[in-house]
């Protein structure tokens, strides 16, 4: 079964539909590439997808460990390069609860650092990940 459908709406905008749920989101070309920049760009979704994946696999492992990660957040910064235009760097700052033991922190960080998306990104993309276990 197919995963998604992407429809070009014109004016450098797409609508993306998750076929199983029907949920949708829109992408725009960024301002620096002739777009409106009114929503996520395709490369924004790639960089954000890394944080989504990291938090999701951490959540799976946290359940097994009986650790609560609710309200954890990731701030994502994407840096582009040119010739060819591409993602050069993804920086992620994770804000995580302070009441997690050192042992569980190490397990959860290792889980995040080995998520499927991080293994799927080109090795030339620099990835800077910070874990802040004192956020709440």
Count: domains in the chain: 2
- 24 and 56 in a single domain? The answer is no
Give residue 59's domain range.
Answer: 42-132
- Give the pLDDT confidence score for residue 67 in this predicted structure: 97
Q: Cα(71)–Cα(89) distance, rounded to whole angstroms?
A: 25
- 9 and 54 in a single domain? The answer is no
Mean pLDDT across 97-121: 98
- 109 and 55 in a single domain? The answer is yes
Q: Cα(79)–Cα(86) distance, rounded to whole angstroms?
A: 9
Q: Are 4 and 12 in contact (CB under 8 A)?
A: no
**pLDDT tens-place string over residues 12-35:** 999 999 999 999 999 999 999 999
- 62 and 125 in a single domain? The answer is yes
- 56 and 107 in a single domain? The answer is yes
Q: What is the mean pLDDT of the chain?
A: 97
- 59 and 125 in a single domain? The answer is yes
- 80 and 101 in a single domain? The answer is yes
Q: What is the pTM of this model?
A: 0.94
- Give the pLDDT confidence score for residue 26 in this predicted structure: 97
CATH label of the domain that carries residue 94: 3.30.300.20
């Amino acid at each position: 079964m197919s995963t998604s459908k992407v429809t070009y709406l014109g004016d450098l905008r797409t609508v993306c539909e998750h076929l199983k749920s029907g949920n949708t989101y829109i992408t725009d070309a960024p301002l620096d590439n002739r777009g409106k920049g009114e929503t996520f760009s395709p490369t924004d979704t790639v960089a954000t997808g890394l944080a989504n994946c990291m938090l999701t696999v951490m959540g799976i492992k946290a359940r097994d460990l009986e650790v609560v990660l609710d309200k954890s957040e990731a701030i994502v910064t994407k840096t582009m390069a040119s010739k060819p235009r591409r993602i050069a760097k993804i920086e992620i700052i994770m804000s995580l609860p302070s009441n997690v033991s050192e042992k569980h922190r190490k397990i959860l960080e290792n889980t995040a650092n080995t998520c499927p998306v991080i293994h799927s990104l080109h090795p030339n993309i620099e990835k800077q990940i910070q874990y802040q276990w004192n956020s709440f």
